[in-house]
Chains A and B, each alone.
Chain A
Amino acid sequence: MALVELNHVTKRYGALTVLDDVSLSVQKGEIIAVIGRSGSGKSTMLRCINGLERIQGGDITVDGVRVNDPATNLRNLRQQVGIVFQSFNLFPHLSVAGNITLAPRVVKGKDPGMAREVALDVLRRVGLEDKIDAFPDELSGGQQQRVAIARSLAMDPQVMLFDEVTSALDPELTGEVIKVLEAMANKGMTMILVTHEIGFARRFGSRVVFMHQGRIWEEGAAAATLASPRTPELETFLNAVLH
């Protein structure tokens, strides 16, 4: 059974249809690169998967649990689904340790000592264990984003969503975040990434999903789809981002 499943999902903001009959099925261990112009619905799709946005039609399930069911406990769901945002969204009043241990302590009820062990472990995975007592404003953008990734990992999610996580970073800092993503990919994490990093999508994506006007316009195996697009829209898009 698919880990994440979207069935004919429709999402509207008033009269504007942002997601139009979107269906997608993600198996465990897959890495899905979602590409497309801004406004094509990529980020909205991610935000629907962890219930940050309501949908008006269709069904979303994660690990067999319906996200869009009022009876679903979003608190439980969100422990299964980590999300990392473009603008990091670290808690500025808390240290790195505070950011990472907050949810394990409050949501999972871990004692402070155990939670700090978890924090050290996930910080090691993003290469920042020496920053455990720093505050977000003392870190570079790349480091902040790595802490945000570590904060999500600390909840031990089954699937990770990445919403243009390198778009706010300059190329040098992008590299260090991509490295962390690659390490996670190699460990078999299920990942759905909205990204402009076509190179990363080609090398690590198991599948590419191209969104256009709120629909999944084209999807397929990453390397093949990016090498020979079937629709003129994807071809135009790739030409625009690659040149």
Chain B
Amino acid sequence: MIRSFGMIDIFYLLAAARWTIMLTVVAFLGASLVGITIAVFRVVPFWPLRWFAVGYIQVVQGTPLLVWLFGLYFGLSILGFPVNPWFAAAVAFSAYGGAFLGEIWRGALVSIAKTQWEAGASLGLSFFEQLRYVIVPQSVRVAIPPTVGFLVQLIKNTSLAATIGLVELTREGQLTSAATFRPFVVYLTVAALYFLMCFPLTQWSRSLERKLHGAR
């Protein structure tokens, strides 16, 4: 039976938006862990790690996120390892986001002049001490705006998790649309909710960019 689109549906969509936020948080944390590792591997003075990181970034950036999600969720269960969709989503988003964050953060690290590394080395600091006390604190300023930009992309990309059965905002929109047969209104509401999540972040990122630019 087709019912009309009412307050109750908006509450359902809001409830589903919580899962979008949860997914984003999990994905961002996982991607940060992978990203830090990849960024450091990229600058470490030991070529096998650098090559590994380059290869990882190439492979992940050259494959669709959807394929990772399907591969982990459906592929593993066919092989006899049934996985929880949350687990599959967390792993896929971490692997995918880690490659992008790794590249963003590597860019921030190498933007710091080589002479800063040398000054640290000359004082007897080890590679990781140079990284921790000299390079990272300076590159954080450079890294924040593109990192927030990535986070906005990530929020929207979590909608792909709908394809493996997670009922987040987009999936809830599909269900509501099917029940009410009012796709235009429903998806407009869904879009508005995504916008409400992303807009403050882009504004924040812009103000950070302005601030950091002014400080130069």
Which residues of A are interface residues toward B (Cβ below 8 A)? Answer: 50, 52, 74-76, 78-79, 81-83, 85, 87, 89-93, 102-103, 106-107, 151-152, 155
Grouping DSSP codes into helix (H, G, I), strand (E, B) and loop, the B interface class, with mixed when no group exceeds half, is helix
Q: Are B121 and A78 in contact, CB atoms less than 8 angstroms apart?
A: yes
Give CA–CA (A48, B133) in the complex, Å: 24
Q: Are A89 and B124 in contact, CB atoms less than 8 angstroms apart?
A: no
Q: Which residues of A contact B116 (CB under 8 A)?
A: 89, 91
Give CA–CA (A52, B129) in the complex, Å: 16
Q: Are B124 and A79 in contact, CB atoms less than 8 angstroms apart?
A: yes
Task: With both chains docked as a complex, state the minimum distance between the C-beta of B136 and any C-beta of chain A, in angstroms.
Answer: 10
Q: Which residues of B contact A102 (CB under 8 A)?
A: 123, 125, 133-134
Task: With both chains docked as a complex, state the minimum distance between the C-beta of A89 and any C-beta of chain B, in angstroms.
Answer: 4
Give CA–CA (A151, B123) in the complex, Å: 8
Task: With both chains docked as a complex, state the minimum distance between the C-beta of B52 and any C-beta of chain A, in angstroms.
Answer: 23
Decide: A75 near B126, CB < 8 A? Known: A52-B121, A85-B115. yes
Interface centre among B116, B122, B133 (most CB of A within 10 A): B122
Q: Are B118 and A103 in contact, CB atoms less than 8 angstroms apart?
A: no
Among the listed B118, B124, B138, which residue makes an inter-chain contact with A107, where contact means beta carbons less than 8 Å apart?
Answer: B124
B212 proximal to A (CB < 8 A): no
Q: Which residues of A contact B126 (CB under 8 A)?
A: 75
Grouping DSSP codes into helix (H, G, I), strand (E, B) and loop, the A interface class, with mixed when no group exceeds half, is mixed
Q: Which 9 A-B pairs have the closest CB atoms?
A: A103-B123, A89-B119, A78-B124, A107-B124, A83-B122, A79-B124, A89-B115, A93-B137, A75-B124
Q: Are A107 and B115 in contact, CB atoms less than 8 angstroms apart?
A: no
Give CA–CA (A152, B122) in the complex, Å: 9
Task: With both chains docked as a complex, state the minimum distance between the C-beta of A34 and any C-beta of chain B, in angstroms.
Answer: 18
Task: With both chains docked as a complex, state the minimum distance between the C-beta of A200 and any C-beta of chain B, in angstroms.
Answer: 22
Give CA–CA (A151, B118) in the complex, Å: 14
* CB 8 Å contact bits of B97-135 with A (1 = contact, 0 = none): 000000000000000000110111111111001000110
Interface centre among A50, A89, A151, A155 (most CB of B within 10 A): A89
Interface centre among B115, B116, B119, B121 (most CB of A within 10 A): B119
Decide: A50 near B122, CB < 8 A? Known: A93-B138, A102-B133, A106-B129. yes
Q: Are B122 and A82 in contact, CB atoms less than 8 angstroms apart?
A: yes
Q: Are B122 and A92 in contact, CB atoms less than 8 angstroms apart?
A: no
Q: Are B119 and A91 in contact, CB atoms less than 8 angstroms apart?
A: yes
* CB 8 Å contact bits of B134-153 with A (1 = contact, 0 = none): 10011000000000000000
Give CA–CA (A32, B167) in the complex, Å: 74
Among the listed A76, A87, A155, which residue makes an inter-chain contact with B123, where contact means beta carbons less than 8 Å apart?
Answer: A155
Give CA–CA (A57, B122) in the complex, Å: 22
Give CA–CA (A87, B115) in the complex, Å: 9
Decide: A78 near B123, CB < 8 A? Known: A93-B137, A102-B133. yes
